[in-house]
Amino acid sequence: MPAERAKKRVNTTANNVLPFRKKGGPTATIECEDNLSFMRALDPGSMKLIVTSPPYNIGKEYEERRSQERYIEEQAACIAEVVRLLHPKGSICWQVGNHVQGGEIFPLDVLLYPLFKNHGLQLRNRIVWTFGHGLHCQKRFSGRHETILWFTKSDDYTFNLDPVRVPSKYPEKKHFKGPNKGKISSNPLGKNPTDVWDIPNVKSNHVEKADHPCQFPVGLVERLVLSLTDTGDNVLDPYIGVGSSAIAALKHQRHAYGCDTDYGYVKTALARIEQLHAGKLRTRPMDKPIYQPPPKNRGGQ
């Protein structure tokens, strides 16, 4: 087995994630290991949120292309294991885009949905994640969205809307009739962020860019962590890459679990967690508005 693929277990304690954190804070358990063997060592029902983005079988540097049948089989094995680990009130969020072959696209959420339904899970949202940057296609429209399938195990699941509300469009709007006429009609805490999330993807000039071609923006995972878990819960990412899910969990006092087969990515994940402990990790604020270039930079307007 090449050295970079060797199994390595690392435990870190995030006592000093931010200056106000007390001792006994959240822990991060990150391993360089295949996810099936990593997950088999974890307790059933122990994970409140399992959030991940698997390989898409498109020949990225961290994957080998395989037949679609084999890819689906591998996903089925991983999904069976995450379902075993899912807390009764917990959620699975599977973030995917398209498999592309010979110019034809195969939406992975469509292909993988039945695998979750085979386990009796219930789909709560199919979140559309839109972003501004990517390849410019010549023979189809350029892809600028991916999806997150959010499943729960039962009807009784954790969902905290208030921590993830976003500013209302018309905060001063008032009821125009009825008993509340003249009173502010919108929630002062803000509105539901909806199931369409416009969050920049992590490209070269993004503050979070590390040595991974397909990082999660930390803010995207933070929204899921805050809404689908409570303080002290466990969050697992079985394809953790450079640790974005762990960072989102630790920032909000949740315990982080994850693994990746590439030791280089795991090392980067641990370094990022250390930076977080030291208060030196830069992340894009979860609700920062999308940058709009001024008209003079838009070319002739």
Ligand X SMILES: C[S@@+](CC[C@H](N)C(=O)[O-])C[C@H]1O[C@@H](n2cnc3c(N)ncnc32)[C@H](O)[C@@H]1O
Contacts of ligand X in 32-51 (CB under 6 A):
34-35
- The C-alpha torsion from 43 through 45 and 49 to 53, rounded to 10°, is 60
C-alpha distances out from residue 186 to 33, 140, 226, Å: 48, 40, 22
- Do 28 and 71 touch, CB atoms closer than 8 A? no
Question: Helix, strand, or coil here: 248?
Answer: helix
Nearer to ligand X, 113 or 263 (CB): 263
Contact segment (CB under 6 A) with ligand X among 131-139, 179-187, 210-218, 224-232 equals 210-218
Q: Would you count residue 91 as binding ligand X (CB under 6 A)? A: no
- Applying CB under 6 A, among 12, 30, 49, 53 the residue interacting with ligand X is 53
The answer to whether residue 215 forms part of the interface with ligand X (CB under 6 A) is yes
- Residue 259 contacts ligand X per CB under 6 A: yes
Residue 219 near ligand X by CB under 6 A: no
Using CA atoms, how far residue 57 sits from 72, 113, 170, 218, in Å, is 10, 17, 43, 23
What are residue 122's DSSP bridge partners?
152
Query: Per CB under 6 A, does 201 bind ligand X?
Result: no
Closest distance to ligand X from the beta carbon of 121 (Å): 21
CB of 232 to ligand X, least distance (A): 23
Q: Which residues contact 34 (CB under 8 A, 6 or more apart)?
A: 259, 261
Minimal distance, residue 85 CB to ligand X, in Å: 14
Binding ligand X (rule: CB under 6 A), the pick from 131, 150, 216, 257 is 216
Whole-angstrom distance, CA of residue 223 vs CA of residue 47: 17
Residues 93-132 that bind ligand X (CB under 6 A): none
User: Looking at this protein, which amino acid is placed at residue 281?
Assistant: L
Write a three-state SS string for 32-95: ECCHHHHHHCCCCCCEEEEEECCCCCCCCCCCCCCCHHHHHHHHHHHHHHHHHHEEEEEEEEEE
Tokens (6 digits) for 69: 């049948």
**CB closer to ligand X, 62 vs 113:** 62
Q: How far is the CB of 237 from ligand X (least distance, A)?
A: 7
Q: CB of residue 192 vs ligand X: minimum separation in angstroms? A: 25
- Interface positions, 224-243, toward ligand X (CB under 6 A): 239, 241-242
In the bound state with ligand X, the residue whose beta carbon lies nearer, of 157 and 216, is 216
Q: How far is the CB of 11 from ligand X (least distance, A)?
A: 18
Q: Which of 16, 45, 58, 62 touches ligand X by CB under 6 A? A: 62
Closest CA to 79 of 125, 117, 133, 136: 117
Which residues have CB under 8 Å from 301's CB, separation 6+? 295
Residue ranges in contact with ligand X by CB under 6 A: 34-35, 53, 55, 62-63, 212, 214-216, 239, 241-242, 244, 259-262, 265
